[in-house]
Amino acid sequence: MAQIEIRLPSAQACLRTIPTSRGTGVTTAAIIVAAGRGLRAGGDLPKQWQMLVGKPVLAHSIAVFAGLVDEIVLVIHPEDRGRAMALDTAELIGQARLFLVDGGTTRDQSVRNALEALAGTTTTRVLIHDGARPLVSVDLIQRLIRALDHIKAAAPALPVSDALWRGENGFVSGTQDRNALYRAQTPQAFHFDPILAAHRAHQGPAADDVAVARAHGITVAIIDGDEDNLKLTFPADFARAEHILGSRPQMDIRLGNGFDVHAFCPGDHVWLCGVKIPHSKALIGHSDADVGMHALTDAIYGALAAGDIGRHFPPSDPQWKGAASHIFLSHAIALARTRGFTLGNADITLICEHPKIGPHAAAMQAELARIMDIDPERISVKATTTEQLGFTGREEGIAALATAALVAL
């Protein structure tokens, strides 16, 4: 069972315990609100803790968000702390971490507690999701995150297609025009600072976070929702959710490793992870000998069970002599997307005594992200030495190790 990081009940306690310096750039957090006690769905437990296809309702959402965001804040009722600690989080992948925060007496108070817990951290974007919606999809989350590249707030919704009636005492008392009406869903996505400010200023309850945002001047874009993203409210909803989950393929997560070595030769620079670095030597290779990018490319191919660079770009073929390695990496990530996968995260370790990698790591991270068109926060570039042991210790060459996690869309 993976470890859950426990957070104290008050927002102020959380402010002191959630790390405030986890790097720079865009950091995305998901808040999953699960502090309610509603029992309309039947059973002896609140619906978010009831079992759905062999695991608690909440575990389904956690598993999806964990591959797509940096941190997850789970807002719980204090009585449910033991249940939260018992969650099997082994399905969490990538670099996402799970924190617990106690909720308030209303939904907006619970969200406020979670937002306050993240205040002062590097969080720049937040997705706020109802714990009773276990069927949220990777595609919907990704579309919301991409929307925040251009706007400050976005939320999914479905147009109302049924006729609408008003009722009184069990009888139809009138009709309601359905034009321009939508069924709201979650997660609802925001730039962090504006939605935190809105919740701090808000007085009284609110139906959802879009209501809070709009009350304080934030324009919220509507994106297409998902019919399967239902909210569990009544007993029949569980049966429908089980049917949907039973018809879906199980979450498909692929891991791949890549390893590459290139020897030094006379020269005045090396290419590492797409960045040209001045050096007293160069690297020997059929292409540009970018050992870091080669290892990452092979990791992606490995996750797809698609061989290695040599299979797709044979060194015997003269057209690849001196080729820029971004060609290989672009091909690998395009192949992954063609097969229905997205890159959850990648980790590259460069092994050498010189050149020093630290001053260039951020540029390498940015360049790899640009080539693959993903968030730089999903790429780690770091370095180590072999304490002057072996061929890298003797500065005869550079080695690289990479791991890539692919998640089915």
340-380 pLDDT, tens digit per residue, is 888 999 999 999 999 999 999 999 999 999 999 888 989 99
- Could you tell me if 113 and 86 are in contact, meaning their C-beta atoms sit under 8 angstroms apart? no
Buried b (16+ CB within 10 A) or exposed e, 8-44: eeebeebbeebeeeeeeeebbbbbbbbbbeeeebeee
CATH topology match: 11-247 vs 253-408: no
Using N-to-C axis directions, what is the helix angle for 138-147 and 57-66, rounded to 10°?
50
At 321, give phi and psi (nearest 5°): -65, 125
For residue 85, the SS3 value is helix
Mean pLDDT within 123-137:
95
- Domain 253-408: homologous superfamily in CATH: 2-C-methyl-D-erythritol 2,4-cyclodiphosphate synthase (3.30.1330.50)
pLDDT score for 24: 46
11-247 belongs to CATH 3.40.50.300: no
At 358, give phi and psi (nearest 5°): -50, -45
**Tens-place pLDDT, residues 70-118:** 889 999 999 998 888 877 554 444 446 788 999 999 999 999 999 999 9
Instruction: For the chain, give every domain's residue range.
Output: 11-247, 253-408
